[in-house]
Amino acid sequence: GESVGLHLPTLSVQEGDNSIINCAYSNSASDYFIWYKQESGKGPQFIIDIRSNMDKRQGQRVTVLLNKTVKHLSLQIAATQPGDSAVYFCAENTGGSYIPTFGRGTSLIVHP
Amino acid sequence: GAGVSQSPSNKVTEKGKDVELRCDPISGHTALYWYRQSLGQGLEFLIYFQGNSAPDKSGLPSDRFSAERTGGSVSTLTIQRTQQEDSAVYLCASSPQTGLNTEAFFGQGTRLTVV
């Protein structure tokens, strides 16, 4: 369930499970996307990025999938750990703009 | 330093007072951003500096907000006549911007509380 006062979508998982965090974007002209992780009391930290000429990109334990047809982005975290607990934001850049636009964020809670 | 540094980390001010928030970007980064984050919300763009170009101020919510960047490095965000709705975490980020799309490195933020 949601954390009182935060009004963020929340995903609760058990340690070791795979997590999928979703993001819908609105601008069909967006051509670059980044996932950020924000731990409590800290600034957002880069996780992985993807350009619009790709539909999948993998990093260490993370995979980003991009579906331009439905303007949807997802972040998959394999074997989720308690240290993955944080708020996850997707951000998009539109061609010609250097200013990333951030989504609302999803709170991931990993239970040991 | 190794990362983006912001000061102060916390600031409590009385309604109507002016505040200044400071950002030291990563050395050599030409791009600098200010964002605002209210409790449980996403990041709201405020202003963007790139090299010697005129800043993009399109995100500033009112004329009480202003920012400058001296010598292409340190930036100060000033909020005049603060209001309670200004309470938020103010985040600064810098980017090397060597290509069209590069990641932004964020500081830890300044938590502003207007009482």
Q: What is the pLDDT of residues B37-51, one digit of tens each?
A: 998 778 999 999 998
d(CA A3, CA A9): 9
- E strand or H helix at B6: strand B5-7
pLDDT (mean) for B4-12: 97
Q: What is the sign, positive or negative, of the torsion defined by CA atoms of B9, B53, B3, A60?
A: positive
Chain A residues whose CB is inside 8 A of the B36 CB are none
Q: What pLDDT score does A6 carry? A: 45
Q: What is the pLDDT of residues A29-52, one digit of tens each?
A: 898 999 999 999 899 999 999 999
Q: Is the pLDDT of residue A58 over 80?
A: yes
- Average pLDDT of the residues of chain A: 89
Q: Is the pLDDT of residue B109 over 50?
A: yes
CB contact under 8 A, A98 and B105: no
Instruction: Please check whether residue A24 is in contact with residue A33, taking contact to mean a CB–CB distance below 8 angstroms.
Output: no
To the nearest whole Å, the CA of A11 is away from the closest chain B CA by: 15
Chain B residues whose CB is inside 8 A of the A51 CB are 101
Q: Residues 48-107, chain A: which have Cβ within 8 Å of B?
A: 49, 51, 89, 91, 93, 95-96, 98-105
- Average pLDDT of the residues of chain B: 92
Question: HSE-up of A18 (CA within 13 Å, CB side)?
Answer: 8
